[in-house]
Amino acid sequence: MALWLVSHPGAGGGATLRGGNAMIVSATTAADAKAAAAAKYGGDSGGWATANTTELTEKAVTATGALTGWRFRIVIYTATPKVFELTAAGASQDTLDEIGAALATLINTDADIADAAYTAATQTLTVAAGSGGSNLGDMAVTAEVFPPEESDAGGITNSKVAIPGFIASITDEGDATDDLEVVFGADTLLVPTVKAVVST
């Protein structure tokens, strides 16, 4: 089974439609999705049989290329906040585990930190180690993940709104000798994606 966006071929062209000019339909095949759309309202003209169909697929954060363009931001609130920003790009930064490793490398470029690390088995980014390490465990940390920027001729069209499901937990503001940690969502996390914008 799949979800399909079925768009009427006469949309905006004078077709008579009792409902909308597009439907999201659950069906095994595109043919069944179009047939279900045609069956929904008696009297529609223009022919749902020749509608455009697009399968609305899902992608997990482990899939190749899943997170290209996504933006990650980690902040450690020392006296002068330490801000680490990464836009996922390239073959080595397109899954969540690869980005976690890349973030650890980026954080280790800070003069006060040399022990950031990522553990793929637990989805854990150690932002700074405690005892014998950076000793920043009493600092506050934020971690945010934003969708890729979208733009048109007028500039950027989307808002910078963080997607909360990427961050499972944060361990911070403890003792200086504690680890600062960010745990990302599980490998089963689906990449949140707007497939279609419709009016109802």
Give the alpha-carbon dihedral of 45, 46, 49, 51, to 10 degrees. -120
Provide the token pair at 76: 């450690």
Structural contact between residues 195 and 149, judged by C-beta atoms closer than 8 angstroms: no
3-class DSSP state of 159:
coil
Predicted confidence pLDDT, tens digits, the chain (200 residues): 689 999 887 755 556 666 777 889 999 999 999 999 888 887 656 677 888 899 999 999 999 999 999 999 999 999 999 999 999 997 888 899 999 999 999 999 999 999 999 999 999 999 999 887 789 999 999 999 999 988 888 888 888 899 999 999 999 999 999 999 999 999 999 999 988 887 66
Helices and strands (H and E) in the chain: how many = 2, 12
Residue 110: per-residue pLDDT: 96
> Which residues are CB-neighbours of 159 under 8 A, at least 6 positions away?
none
- Give the per-residue pLDDT at 120: 96
pLDDT value, residue 157: 82
* SS3 state of residue 75: strand
Domain positions in the chain: 2-55, 71-184
Q: Which long-range contacts (CB under 8 A, 24 or more apart) does 83-89 make?
A: 84/110
Model pLDDT, residue 13: 56
What gap in Å lies between CA 181 and CA 125, rounded to an integer? 6
